[in-house]
Amino acid sequence: MLDVGDSAPDFSVPIAGGEVYNDISSFTLSEALGDGPIVLAFIPAAFTSGCTTEMCTFRDSMHRFEGLDAKVYGISVDLPPALNIFIQQEELNFPMLSDWRHEVIHDYGVVLPDMYGLFEVAKRSIFVLDSTGTVTYRWVEGEGKTDFGAAIDAVYDAVAETVSV
C-alpha cells in the first residue's frame, strides 16, 4: 500500500462528470497534477449507505477544499454511467473516477478482495497528493463505524498543510 512520501502511480481512467448519464471523458492523474493538491477518495461501491454518507460529507465540505485550490475525486470500481447517476442522485459537486478494470485499486494497494464474498472493490481510503504527485496523507478505514466528518476534517487539515509547505 502506498504510504506518505511515496510517488502516486499515474493512471488513466474514465471520469464521470455527472451532468447526464453519458457525461464521460478521460482522466489522467499526471495531467491533473500541478494545479494544487489532489484528494483521491476511494469507496467500495456507489449507492451503498457508507459510501453515500462519505461522498455527501465531501459534497457538503467542498467549499473548504476549493478555498485551498484542491481537487477532490471520488473513485470506485463502478462503471461510469452508474457513477453519473450516483452524482446526480446525491447532488455531488465533484467528479467520480471509474476504476472499472480494478487497476488503480491494485496500484494503490487498497483492494478489498471479497465484498459480500463475491468480488473485489476498493477499501475505503483517502490519499492526498501534492502538486508533484507525492502522497502527503493516507487514511484507510479501520474497524468499526467511521465518523466521516472527523475523517474529512483530517483530510482538510492535510490538504491545508500541503498548501502551506
Residues identified as active-site: 51
C-alpha separations of 148 from 39, 40, 54, 67, 75 in Å: 15, 15, 6, 20, 16
Which DSSP category does 126 fall into?
E
* Closest-CA residue to 62 (of 138, 163, 159, 130): 159
* Coil/strand/helix, residue 148: helix
